[in-house]
Structure 1
Amino acid sequence: MAVAVVGMACRLPGARDPESFWELLMEGRDAVTDVPEGRWTLPRAVRGEDAPGAAPGIGRGGFLDHVDGFDADFFGISPREAAAMDPQQRLMLELSWEALEDAGIVPGELRGSRTGVFAGVMADDYATLARRLGPEALTRHSVTGLHRGVIANRISFVLGLHGPSMAVDTGQSSSLVAVHTACESLRAGTSTLALAGGVNLNLAAESAVATSRFGALSPDGRCFTFDARANGYVRGEGAGVVLLKPLDRAVADGDDVYCVVLGGDVNNDGATDALTRPSAALQARVVRAAQRSSGVLPADVGYVELHGTGTRVGDPVEAEALGAVFAATRKPGQPLKVGSAKTNVGHLEGAAGIVGFIKAALCVSRGKLPPSLHFEHPNPAIAFDAWGLRVQRVAEAWPGQGRRVAGVSSFGMGGTNCHVVVAEAPPVPATPRPVGMQPDDGSVVLPFSAKSPTALRAQAGRLREYLERWPDAGPGEVARTLVTRRTTFEHWAVVSADDRTQALDALHALADSAPHTALTTGQTPTPARKLAFLFPGQGCQYPGMGRGLYGRLPVFTDALDDTCRALDEHLQHPLRDIILARPDTPQAQLLTRTDYTQP
């Protein structure tokens, strides 16, 4: 059974969502920086490369801004409990909500469903920071706040989800294994929907020093994937979540599909020369097994998103494994394109797999390949021509004309290998989409809400930014999304503007807490938000009432047609013709007669 990716969210170095991540990739930007001020402080002897006990490579990385920020009240979490929660929990909770909204699902509608949650994670730096403060700093929230398993469980609890809920730790392959496990749960029927992804935050200096002294970090602070300069990786942080759904259900529901997961596999290297030494034979085996489960041949694959850490041992082994699978299938002059997002954002360790997965999903969806950075001198230990491989160095269109298929690899330091196969979504028959909510006169109506005045202002700012960024976005479609595919909260605003420019001005005013003639705001207490029907009796009818909605909104049109059909058999003249009649016509005059006024 194929699995559809219907929603995505991510927070990565230099990118706050999948769209900005795609822009970063296509523009070939390197988001690696020096360690942000205040993140951690180390003695000069540790930071220096030549001093005894030094930890080379720890001064650079891919970092997020404001990892301490969290709207606890939005999720119904007390300030004290939020302070005790690992920021990894907070971030995954936020991204799960965003992934659902990206799929057009109101999160509250999933309460009680068998939606599964699968979170890849291997680090717990926040626990290290908490324990530095001593036993007296631990609270009754510390156990749940610091436990890695609760990263998934917290999402299930807050959203009321009844499917499987688990943290997956297979080292650096954790988040891709989480995606594969989620797909298997959907195929087995133990989940009806699944949130899957991973998170990694570099909060404690100790973890950076330990990784350096293990010998994994590049002193240069870059990932030179498949390059002769490969000497280790640079650490990154962030998170990503995807919403997965059986493809047939996604098609039936009319979902927008990023890509399809055709299959995957997981294995382990077993007994190699050392615990952390990878096996080319077992990596090749997991790729072949993933392709068999997907029903694709090696020749069908146009691109592979590498694990691609840029280490002296790992890169040649991964290349050899791919050569064993693909070399015999590549035609002369048509090598397999490969690349790694680690060159852009660093190695997110436990969350590395979801980064590569999201990149591959965007590639097959958009039919383009971004460049892999820092590749100038081919690694002499990699037989590129003999193994049929070529590092993607420039942004270009997807190779070939057939169905776009990509592989994604992720390998754990303990030997747990994962490979999944993704493809572009199959073509589906065009179905009529509901029309938007755009009035005929070109005016713009935008309703939205939030849990607090501060959040409402932030929502206005984001909405304005979106409309400016996408000038072709139809205001009617935006309004329909805001009404039907977003949760309604007690603090609300409605922009009712004459045109798009005035709407942008009103959003800007709200973001700045300023009044505007096109802006109305208010607050509705949550318990009072109920549906009511008003029956006004006689005297409120007028010629042409409803004409502006009829034919524009299918739900209104169908309901009025059904009602008129039921009544017409009791009337001399068709009721719809009378309702929609122009003023000063004989049919309009019938509205004053009781036998038509009442219906």
Structure 2
Amino acid sequence: MHREPIAIIGIGCRFPKAKDKKAFWELLRDGVDAITEVPAGRWDVESLENFETATSDQMNTRWGGFLEDLEQFDPQFFKISPREAMSMDPQQRLLLEVAWEALEDGGQTLEHLSGSKTGVFMGINGFDYYMHLIKNPLNLDAYTGSGNTNCMAANRISYFFNFIGPSIGIDTACSSSLVAVHLACQSIWNQESTLALAGGVQIILSPWMTLSIAKAGFMAADGRCKTFDSRADGYVRSEGAGVVVLKPLSQALTDQDPIYAVIRGSAVNQDGHSNGLTAPNPRAQEALLREAYRQAGVSPGKVQYIEAHGTGTKLGDPIEIKALGKVLSENRPPGQYCAVGSVKTNIGHLEVAAGIAGLIKVALSLKYRHIPPNLHFQQPNPYIPFPKLLLRVQKTLEPWPQTEDKALAGVSAFSFGGTNAHVVLEEAPPQVCQKVKDIKPKEPRIETPRQRLRVAAKSEQAVSHKNNTIEGEI
């Protein structure tokens, strides 16, 4: 059955060292490494590195990709009381802001969308903020439950904008936000939604998951994702949020919306039984790619760029690249290599939000007709035969390859629990390409105020504790 392509008409994002989509593109274009030491107030790096002397060289709690000003939020703009806002996970706050920015970027109005079948699909997990709150019973109130239940991140967006389409929080670990995009497209194709917001968020307020992942051997000693490189020894954890606004292509053209790129098709599957619960399955990845390109109705041999999951692990990189090469090399003309890269080399691994970061990177690359460089690549991983696979690592900023076909790209996201996703993107139609190319950042019709949360509580002791918790730890 033929399915209409879906246009990406709006983008909102906050990534390490990139406060919006313009800054994100500049970071990608210029090959910026956004990884830093842990900001003061998140956790005591020195004490944690001595937490277990025997394995301190594996801990890597010093590095990450972090956002600034997490405490900056104007609750009354979103019709939330300051008291309720204090009990809200910063992930919920951030998604509200980024969803607003994505809709504003797409030229959508509240009056037009209120009461519409707009769906909201958000990747989210983790309870770092809740763990901070429950350290003191004085923090618990009537808003603690709604403020720290992950499904509420999507539900709160639907509530504020008065959307009546599906509203779903999604947790498939590292593939969550790309699975969210897949489900949003399915919802539009099934006519459950006339418009959809899809994305994901991750905020890191506690070191304990980092310690667990380090003990499992997944963390890079130098805090860098050296994807596809012979030095690859794991990844670095990062935070951020991204949301895209999706609309059927024909409707986007009728409405004269800006179009960054179009989604031709997508697929989601599971590894099933592999060498271990967290071990990738190459056969499942091949099957995923074949199904995604079948759904898209395009030959994988025509794809010019792949935004890989590319965490920079010794096991994962070769498996992913070999699966890509096996599928994408079919019917590919000799010498016509497909470029590959990973945004994780710039901003680290956003885990739940990793897929949407990759998707936004590709949408912007298609808009600007350039492919940004993959960082930290010096010597190819000896277990990856790039020339044989007709793949090449994107080392520098280059114009998008000129071919007789439309510009095509794929985005992958794989979960350490085995849920895999792949989305196929195509350049915007010719009649809107120049229009999109010339888009300048919009002046917001309503500017979202950002101010420090004011603290209110039932006693002087509670106020003191709230100040320490809210301003010192987020």
Helix, strand or coil: the match of 2:168?
strand
Q: Residues 71-103 of structure 1, C-alpha deviation per residue, up to 9 Å, x if partnerless?
A: 111111111100000000000000111111101
**2:455 is equivalent to residue 486 of structure 1:** no
Matches within 5 A, 1:501-580: none
Helix, strand or coil: the match of 1:329?
coil
Distance 1:229 1:488, change over 3 A: closer
Amino acid corresponding to residue 344 of structure 1 in structure 2: N
**2:75 is equivalent to residue 72 of structure 1:** yes
Helix, strand or coil: the match of 1:167?
strand
**2:15 is equivalent to residue 12 of structure 1:** yes
Partner of 1:340: 342
Distance 1:391 1:50, change over 3 A: farther
Q: CA deviation at 1:426?
A: 1.1
Amino acid corresponding to residue 118 of structure 1 in structure 2: F
Q: Could you tell me how far apart the structure 2 residues matched to 1:219 and 1:138 are? A: 38
Q: Could you tell me how far apart the structure 2 residues matched to 1:312 and 1:124 are? A: 29
Give the unaligned 5+ runs of structure 1.
433-471, 492-599
Q: CA deviation at 1:50?
A: 8.1
Question: Bigger CA drift: 109-118 or 347-356?
Answer: 109-118
Amino acid corresponding to residue 91 of structure 1 in structure 2: L
**2:436 is equivalent to residue 408 of structure 1:** no
Partner of 1:367: 369
Partner of 1:561: none
**2:399 is equivalent to residue 376 of structure 1:** no
Helix, strand or coil: the match of 1:148?
coil
Q: Could you tell me how far apart the structure 1 residues matched to 2:363 and 2:51 are? A: 39
Match for 1:209 among 208, 211, 214? 211
Amino acid corresponding to residue 414 of structure 1 in structure 2: G
Q: Could you tell me how far apart the structure 2 residues matched to 1:49 and 1:277 are? A: 28
Q: Which has the larger radius of gyration?
A: 1
Partner of 2:175: 173
Amino acid corresponding to residue 161 of structure 1 in structure 2: F
Q: Residues 133-156 of structure 1, C-alpha deviation per residue, up to 9 Å, x if partnerless?
A: 133421110000000010100101
Match for 1:97 among 81, 92, 100? 100
**Is the Cα contact below 8 Å between 1:164 and 1:191 reproduced in 2?**
yes
Partner of 1:128: 131
Distance 1:430 1:60, change over 3 A: closer
Match for 1:25 among 11, 28, 34? 28
Q: Residues 410-435 of structure 1, C-alpha deviation per residue, up to 9 Å, x if partnerless?
A: 00001100000001111238999xxx
Q: CA deviation at 1:48?
A: 4.9
Partner of 1:110: 113
**Is the Cα contact below 8 Å between 2:6 and 2:263 reproduced in 1?**
yes
Partner of 1:321: 323
Give the unaligned 5+ runs of structure 2.
450-474
**Is the Cα contact below 8 Å between 2:366 and 2:427 reproduced in 1?**
yes
Q: Residues 455-495 of structure 1, C-alpha deviation per residue, up to 9 Å, x if partnerless?
A: xxxxxxxxxxxxxxxxx999xxx9xx76xx72599x9xxxx
Q: How many residues align?
A: 442
Matches within 5 A, 1:115-514: 115-131=118-134, 133-401=135-403, 402-428=405-431, 486-487=445-446
* C-alpha RMSD over aligned residues: 2.2
Amino acid corresponding to residue 263 of structure 2 in structure 1: V
Q: CA deviation at 1:230?
A: 0.6
**Is the Cα contact below 8 Å between 1:106 and 1:487 reproduced in 2?**
no
Q: Could you tell me how far apart the structure 2 residues matched to 1:383 and 1:38 are? A: 44
Q: Could you tell me how far apart the structure 2 residues matched to 1:149 and 1:409 are? A: 24
Helix, strand or coil: the match of 1:202?
coil
**Is the Cα contact below 8 Å between 1:105 and 1:486 reproduced in 2?**
no
Distance 1:77 1:428, change over 3 A: same
Q: Could you tell me how far apart the structure 2 residues matched to 1:325 and 1:488 are? A: 46
Higher relative contact order (CA 8 A, sep 6+): 2
Q: CA deviation at 1:167?
A: 0.4
Question: Bigger CA drift: 119-128 or 167-176?
Answer: 119-128
Q: Could you tell me how far apart the structure 1 residues matched to 2:156 and 2:306 are? A: 33
Q: Could you tell me how far apart the structure 1 residues matched to 2:258 and 2:417 are? A: 37
Q: CA deviation at 1:300?
A: 1.6
Give percent identity, aligned residues only: 48
Partner of 1:85: 88
Q: TM-score, normalized by length of structure 2?
A: 0.89
